Structure 1
Amino acid sequence: MPIQTLSRLADVDARQWDALLPDAQPFLRHAFLASLEDSGSVGAHSGWRPAHRLFPGDDGRLMAALPAYLKSHSYGEYVFDWSWADACQRAGIRYYPKLLVGVPFTPVAGARLLGEAGALRMLLGSLTEGMADGRWSGVHVNFTDPAADALLATEPGWLERLGCQYHWFNRGYRDFQDFLDALSSRKRKQIRKEREQVAGLGIDFLWLGGHELSEAEWDFVHACYSSTYHVRGQAPYLTRDFFSLLAERMPEAIRVVFARRGARPVAMAFSLVDGDTFYGRYWGCLAEFDRLHFETCFYQGLDQAIAAGLRRFDAGAQGEHKLIRGFEPVITRSWHKLAHPGLRAAVDDFLHQERGGVLAYAEEARGLLPYRQG
């Protein structure tokens, strides 16, 4: 059967799509990606035009798939290629549209190439054909897992790019104090002081799962989330409807903590969980309080991860301030295939130089971790 391109994920059976996923991570689930589309957070108007690739077998069963989007900009990707686009504009080379395989607005590594290796190679070949006939300038696969890395490393023309994030790992801690005991004395005192400062403001915290939140509470979540963009003069990526749709479709994966002063909520952090990982995603506040961000986004999440016996806390992109709170440097990968030979050669040279810098930075960052030696 021919390779199919879908402009709506709702047009593929959710059970068949989810059957291709290698683990329980929420971001590639049909419910998550379809909620982005159905809520209007993703679509042609946003510069994220869905162009998902499917490879059905002779019996109609889905054998492989790629979550793909035609992009007319580079916002919301977290693998920054603005300099590549700028160089192309100055050289008179068309950079947009480009094709991105990944999850919109989500700098979380995971499965990107879904299904059987043979079928995936055919899907990847069809993407190259789109470069050859000028439909897009290149193909980018962001935040890959080891399976995708192994496959793309054997395919001709793909350029590997490294990045660095910060993740926390649970080494069997019984509670938050047990985690603190693993830190140096100075860092332990600093974190304890930060938590005491927030407690001294009369702020307490309430955790709710996705099935427990009212629409009024989701209004507050979206208002807080949006405020983090408005203060920078930007429009938020996610619409209000996204949160309600996600709560309807995958409530078991949702965790929201509300910071409250008295009976009034003043901030929130929205997270997702799977079998072994806590994913911190969105945060926002409607009033400013010193150290509240660290408590709401990190320490409350660590409490939850330890209590639930989760192995890892992935707090998303950027943030060197996570290092002194026990989040360790982790290398991320993306892959890029570019049509223009001159651009490809220049990017290849740049990535070789950048790779050494990223690895050296990650090694240096490990020396700043707050854990006691031995």
Structure 2
Amino acid sequence: MTEGARKARIRDASSELEVELFVDVKGPIRNIDKGVWDGLLEPHDSPFLEYDWIHSMEESGCATEQKGWKPLHVLLVGASTLSGKHDFSGKSGMRSWSAQAGKSPVGAKSSQRSAQAGKSPVSSGGQVADGGKVLAAVPLYLKAHSMGEFIFDHQWADAAYRAGIEYFPKLLIGVPFTPASGARVLLQPDLTPAVKHRIRRAVGTFLKQIRRAVGTFLKQPDSEPAVKHRIRRAVRIFRKQLADNSGISSVHVNFCSEEEVAAFAEAGYVHRKSLQYHWRNSHKGAEGDVKYHWRNSHKGAEGDVKYANFDEYLGAFASKRRIKIKRERKSVTDPERKSVTDPEIKRERKSFTVREEGGVTMRVVRGDDISDDLLLRMFDIYKTTIVKNPYGRLYLNRDFFRRLGGDFRRHICLVIAERDGRLVGGTFNIVKAGRFYGRYWGTHAYIKNLHFETCYYKSIEYCIEQGLEVMEPGAGGGDFKFLRGFDPAVVHSAHACLNPMLHAAVAGFLRREREHIDESAEYLMHRSAVGKRQGSQNEYEVLSPVSDDIDESAEYLSAVGKRQGSQDPEAADFQGVAEEE
């Protein structure tokens, strides 16, 4: 899969800078040097884009071809250095294609290839044989299903099959089992914004040419001779990379940035919006604070005022909700332990007749303070949620947790619950660049409100203590989060389908869905549980909540989730499924 590449010539008219790109399909991330991959990341980029996270996913067997995730990671290599001297002779030694930005590369002439089959032209330092440099990388997978993506296209697949269209396999740009936004085309930080935009667009065009060329060749054998000739030539160019990928139906770019959406839209992709719920460490709300789009920033907006402590955060709630949160916290940590009869639990889960209350001690363990044993025990904690949930899917395994104990350990933050010195529950979280990412939750005991304490309250308290900007608790569970101060955040994806009729149908659906998502986000922001942010100049100024509005909004959230597919069995919050007390 590493032999050969295609070449795109991209011109930045404003600076007369021209960059020649070679697209090298590498396969699993182990075929790429860690320094090359991580060298493309900026300090504020998502931790889930780091080499160690993706490598652990793949090498542990969680994200492999056998599991429906075939890695096809891509490097985009510049034909020359960024010093301003560019060689466009086509003698780079890699297979190439030549096209102006946005122009179809199908049928372009191939330059002479001198790289040996299977030998990577990229050195450990990110340089190519002729002095070029890796300018970009793309985390790409060939998918045999839609599980573990958290941007739900199951209905599209069903519609395709009803119309006699094969929906799988498909191409996915993203990170397995991780509903967290971030860059999906990793770019050299020193490139100009215009060049970055053109490279992103070139990636979208490149992937669409794969699906169009090969798909048309297989599905329309009676095409005109001239068209067939061009397609056969394209297939020859990619015979190594695409020998087993010829049925690709579509390309999906999940949890990408708004800048990437714009670039992929120029390449013919359709924009999709989805709702998550994020907590923000700001109670004054300078301009931009309450903007409900996901923001890839390691800095708060100018004028941000963070909460001084958890009590100040509670002060932003209406009295009724504030009192309820205090009771929920006390029911977990009160030294006086007691049992509460719960007929509902007895009826639904015969193994439980009571809920435990009190006697739990909470603490946070981070980075090098996390022992190898505790890290592995967190896998057992994570597994309890999957086992208890009838729709749970055990995507991860113990080896994945073990592998994260290397360099990536510095990002790990555990919120653990103990009783009588024994671990009874907790959450596995990631912290980087001012953002707290809630990932996995579980408990060995059925303790009242423990889910809310570990996943929300103690985590928020820690974010306030550490001055963190944002907490992202994962997908699903919108009503629980909204009532506890998590406001809507719109996340983005881009999609392109091979079949014109299917693409048109998806585009129409997404146009209506975008309108619905914008309306929903605005509606919920006006009813935020954390009250009015004084001084906000944002278009979506948050109003002081009324108790009835909060209850009504929780019901509204359930309807929003069902409409967008978040009630799918896979959509259970990574932090677990909780019951409103």
Q: How does 1:291-370 map to 2 (within 5 A)?
A: 291-319=449-477, 320-370=479-529
Q: How does 1:164-183 map to 2 (within 5 A)?
A: 164-171=275-282, 172-183=306-317
Matched, 1:27 2:48: yes
Q: Which secondary structure does the structure 2 equivalent of 1:142 belong to?
A: strand
* Contact 1:168–1:328 under 8 Å retained in 2: yes
Counterpart contact for 1:114–1:120, Cα < 8 Å: no
- The alpha carbon displacement at 1:60 in A equals 4.2
Change in Cα spacing, 1:119 to 1:368, as seen in structure 2 (3 Å) is: closer
Which one of 123, 138, 161 corresponds to residue 203 of structure 2? 123
| 1:141 pairs with 2:253 | yes
Q: Which residue of 1 aligns with 2:150?
A: 78
Q: Residue 121 of structure 1: CA displacement?
A: 3.2
Q: CA deviation at 1:61?
A: 2.0
Cα distance, 1:56–1:72 mapped onto 2, change above 3 Å: same
Deviation of 1:226 (Å): 1.5
Of 204, 228, 245 in structure 1, the residue corresponding to residue 403 of structure 2 is 245
The alpha-carbon deviation at position 287 of structure 1 amounts to 1.3
- Once the 2 structures are TM-superposed, how far is the Cα of residue 372 of structure 1 from its aligned partner? 3.2
C-alpha separation between the residues in 2 aligned to 1:19 and 1:285? 38
TM-score (norm 1): 0.96
Q: Shift in Å at residue 209 of structure 1? A: 1.7
Q: 2:75 aligns with which of 49, 54, 58?
A: 54
Distance 2:40 2:328 in 1: 43
Higher relative contact order, chain-length normalized (CA < 8 Å, sep 6+): 1
For 1:118 and 1:359, locate their aligned partners in 2 and report how far apart those are by CA, in whole Å: 28
In structure 1, the residue matched to 2:66 is 45
CA distance in structure 2 between the partners assigned to 1:336 and 1:315 by the alignment: 25
Structure 1 segments, 4+ long, off by >6 Å, are none
Number of the residue aligned with 2:272? 161
Deviation at 1:174, TM superposition (A): 0.9
Q: Return the letter of the residue paired with 1:159.
A: V
Distance in 1 between the 2:45 and 2:504 partners? 38
Offset, 1:66: 0.9
Which residue of 13, 38, 51 maps to 1:18?
38
Q: Look up the match of 2:418.
A: 260
Residue 223 of structure 1 is matched in structure 2 by 380
For 2:484, the aligned partner's letter is R
After TM superposition, the structure 1 stretch with the greater mean CA deviation from structure 2, 164-173 or 7-16, is: 7-16
TM-score by length of 2: 0.62
Deviation per residue, 1:236-286 (Å, 9 max, x gap): 111111112112121111001111111111111010011111111111111
Counterpart code for 1:343: L
- C-alpha deviation, 1:100, in angstroms: 0.4
Query: How far apart, CA to CA, are the structure 1 residues paired with 2:258 and 2:509?
Result: 23
The whole-number CA distance in structure 1 between the counterparts of 2:466 and 2:372 is 26
- Shifted more, 144-153 versus 339-348: the winner is 144-153
How far apart in 2 are the matches of 1:350 and 1:147? Answer: 22
Corresponding residue SS for 1:182: coil
Q: Distance in 2 between matches of 1:232 and 1:75?
A: 16
Q: What is the alpha-carbon root mean square deviation over aligned residues?
A: 1.5
Does structure 1 residue 110 correspond to structure 2 residue 173? no
Q: How much does 1:151 deviate?
A: 1.5
Q: Partners of 2:280 and 2:200 in 1: how far apart?
A: 32
**Counterpart of 2:316 in structure 1: which amino acid?**
A
Confirm or deny that 1:188 pairs with 2:322.
yes
Structure with larger Rg: 2
**CA deviation map 1:318-338 (0-9, x unaligned):** 222111111110111110011
Structure 2 Cα separation of the partners of residues 6 and 288 of structure 1: 46
Amino acid at match of 2:385: T
**1:219 Cα offset (Å):** 2.8
Q: Secondary structure at the match of 1:139?
A: strand
Greater Cα shift, 97-106 or 232-241: 232-241
**Residue 177 of structure 1: how far off its partner (Å):** 0.8
Structure 1 position 25, deviation (Å) = 2.1
Q: Secondary structure at the match of 1:356?
A: helix
Q: Name the aligned partner's letter for residue 95 of structure 1.
A: Y
Residues of 2 paired with 1:327 and 1:247: CA distance? 30
Q: What's the CA shift for 1:359?
A: 1.4
Q: Which moved more, 1:361-370 or 1:246-255?
A: 361-370
Any idea what SS the aligned residue of 1:140 has?
strand
CA–CA distance in structure 2, aligned partners of residues 24 and 77 of structure 1 = 20
Distance 2:420 2:271 in 1: 50
Gap runs ≥5 in structure 2: 1-6, 8-21, 80-130, 188-195, 216-245, 283-305, 335-357, 535-581
1:3 and 2:115 correspond: no
Assess, with a 3 A threshold, how the Cα gap between structure 1 residues 202 and 174 changes in structure 2: closer, same or farther. same
Equivalent position SS for 1:164:
strand
Closer, same or farther: CA 85–14 of 1 in aligned 2, 3 Å: same
* Distance (whole Å) between structure 1 residues aligned to residue 432 and residue 376 of structure 2: 25
* Percent identical residues: 38
Pairing 1:263-282 to 2, within 5 Å after superposition:
263-282=421-440
SS at match of 2:395: coil
Aligned residue identity for 1:145:
S
**Greater share of residues in helix:** 1
What residue in structure 1 maps to residue 98 of structure 2?
none
Unaligned runs of 5+ in 1: none
SS, match of residue 143 in structure 1: strand
